[in-house]
Amino acid sequence: MKKLSSLLLLGSLAGTAQAQTVIKAGTVQLGGAVGYARTTQDSPTVTASGYPVTATYTDSQFQIAPSVGFFVLDNLAVGINGSYQITNRSTKQSNGGSLPDITPWQLQVGAFVEYYKMLGEQFGFTGTLGAGYLRTDQGQPNISPNTNGFYAGLTPGIIYFPIPKVGIGASIGTIGYSSQQTTVPGVTSTSQKYDNSSFRANFGLNQLTFSGSFYFGR
């Protein structure tokens, strides 16, 4: 009888532990990322008169990427996300000259489906399928090209919960497809438009990204 009671107790504890690894339907996920980066690069170039100089390019980049999801089933969330990235690029030359600053930017708005495979109370794997609209602009009105199109991608990742309601995610790449139309403004004629599409599978430490989310109702 004692052995049977012990087995029943162990089975109950195992079931409870398993239940704790499920993110229940009805949970709301609120997350995103904010980032800032500044890079400087020197490059040899020539002035309009042909005089050789060194150009120093400085890029100050800011990005915000909010997201919100709702778990329609245990461990399965659907939601919407977005990303806006803007860069201020200044150029100074070793002869004291400079070029006007430019501000290229990129906007993405889309939806996602995300599945969680928890291996314990704190750690698990995720797979995120997303698609949406994208637009880029090189920051020089009436001169530089701009792009409109859509994207779709599958991103595998990992998730860690230091506390039950807070998750920290990481990924090292995406399998993705995009279709875009680039418009090149015309200076002496009408604008030209070009269609292009691409498929990519980029993985590696140089693709490492982090994110954080808060889970209401978990």
Please indicate, yes or no, if residue 36 is contained in any of the structural domains: no
> Is residue 44 assigned to a domain?
no
pLDDT tens for 144-159 read 788 899 999 999 999 9
Q: Is residue 8 part of a domain?
A: no
The answer as to whether 182 is a domain residue is: yes
Query: Hey, what are 37's tokens?
Result: 């980066």
Domain assignment of residue 73, given as a range: 68-86+101-216
Any domain includes 113: yes
Residue 21 belongs to a domain: no
Does the pTM surpass 0.75? The reply is no
Give how far Cα 96 sits from Cα of 56, 92, 103, 136, 175, Å: 11, 7, 22, 31, 45
Question: Tokens 């779709």 correspond to what residue?
Answer: 152
Domain count, the chain: 1
pLDDT of residue 2: 46
Question: Residue 116 sits in a domain of what CATH number?
Answer: 2.40.160
Decide if 39 is inside a domain: no
- CB of 140 within 8 A of CB of 40? no
pLDDT tier for residue 15 given thresholds of 50, 70 and 90: very low
pLDDT digits (tens, 9 = 90+) for 153-191: 999 999 999 999 999 998 988 899 999 888 887 655 567
Percent of the chain beyond pLDDT 90? 39
Least confident of 5-9, 24-28, 134-138: 5-9
Q: Could you tell me which residue, 39 or 75, shows the higher pLDDT?
A: 75
Structure token pair of residue 103: 């501000």
* Residue 69 · residue 112 · CB < 8 Å: yes
Q: Which two tokens stand for residue 50?
A: 């042909």
List pLDDT tens digits, range 126-142. 999 999 999 988 877 66
Q: What is the mean pLDDT of the chain?
A: 83
Q: Does 38 score more than 70 pLDDT?
A: yes
Structure tokens, 14: 């195992």
Is the pLDDT assigned to residue 74 strictly greater than 80?
Answer: yes
Residue 134 lies in a domain: yes
